[in-house]
Amino acid sequence: MLMLSGMDETPAFLDLNRPGVPDIAVPRGVTPFYLPLRPVRGRLVRLGVLADALLSRHDYPEPIGNLVGEALALVAALATALKFTGSFSLQAKGDGPVKMLLADCTDLGGLRGYASIDEDKLAALLAIHPEPNAAQLLGAGYLAFTVDQGPDMERHQGVVALTGDRLEEMALHYFEASEQTHCFIRLAAERHAIGWRASALVMERIAGAGGIDPAMDSLAQDDSWATALVLAGTIKSRELLDDQLSADRLLWNLFGTEGVAVDRPRALNYGCRCSRARLASILGTFGGEDLDAMVADDTPDSAIVMTCEFCNLDFRFSRDEITAAGSN
């Protein structure tokens, strides 16, 4: 079985060969906000039912699902800050039970992600630590963030060693070490009775004079940022994941004393972009011996099965179909 993790960028509504995956959008998935005349900007991400649609495609043990959910919420917060057409991706690779953690989100809110698991290592870890943290799941390795502006532009990527116990600590280390950016990151993901939920609160200190009180000197800006950090630090996971608590109300509860202002919400959607036609065309570029090596053991008709890592769908291709695709 051939596993596929890279797909094309064809918009889902134009792709007639897209499989029957959930067509789900959350209109208010990301709520941008700012503190007027202060050096503080942020985004509150609430995936809602989209978290369950993405995570329930896989039978993840709860610690793995929590980790993937946090990664999805984080990239949603970062991608929707892009000022151009493209995508933002997170990749963590280590020597622990989670061999690879990948999540990405387009500037239009198309969200997808998955974790590749070493089942033996995971069983051994859970026997000792029933509720492992991100560091125990990932082990030693690296964290990479990539900004992709399309085939005509060079990708920007930053890589740092995995540092910290939780994914939010690892991400903060990246921004401090690679981008020299002052940030606050709080992530949450859990499986409730109504399904998976995931959320993120990301806040950054903006540089320069734009949007800042001109009478505010650097010391006053430091104090204002420190105040915002204290207020943001009071957020609880249950508040982030509470469907009944609106984003506007949550932000007011946190920053109401600072006069928080909310910008236009951004939508998030189920963003797997797999396509049967594209997969067939990829197989059509391989020679006969390579295709023979890809034949699944349980397919006496010499069919080849490709699995989309993101939506966990199997695509079965006959040799005739592959030959036809290769001749086009």
Domains of the chain: 25-270 (3.55.30.10), 276-327 (3.90.1280.10)
Distance, in Å, from the CA atom of 14 to the CA atom of 262, rounded to the nearest integer, reads 33
**CB proximity list for 316: less than 8 A, separation 6 or greater:** 299, 303, 304, 305
High-pLDDT (> 70) share of the chain, %: 84
CB 86 within 8 A of CB 151: no
Q: What's this model's pTM, rounded to 2 decimal places?
A: 0.84
Three-class SS of residue 154? coil
Tell me: pLDDT of 10 over 70.
Answer: no
Q: What's the one-letter identity of residue 304?
A: I
24/94: higher pLDDT: 94
Phi, psi of 287 (to 5 degrees): -80, 170
Which ranges of 106-166 does DSSP label H, i.e. alpha helix? 119-128, 134-138
pLDDT range class, residue 309, cuts 50, 70, 90: confident
Q: How many CA atoms lie within 13 A of 271 on its CB side?
A: 28
Instruction: Give the DSSP letter string of 187-213.
Output: EEEEEETTEEEEEEEEEEEPPSSTTB-
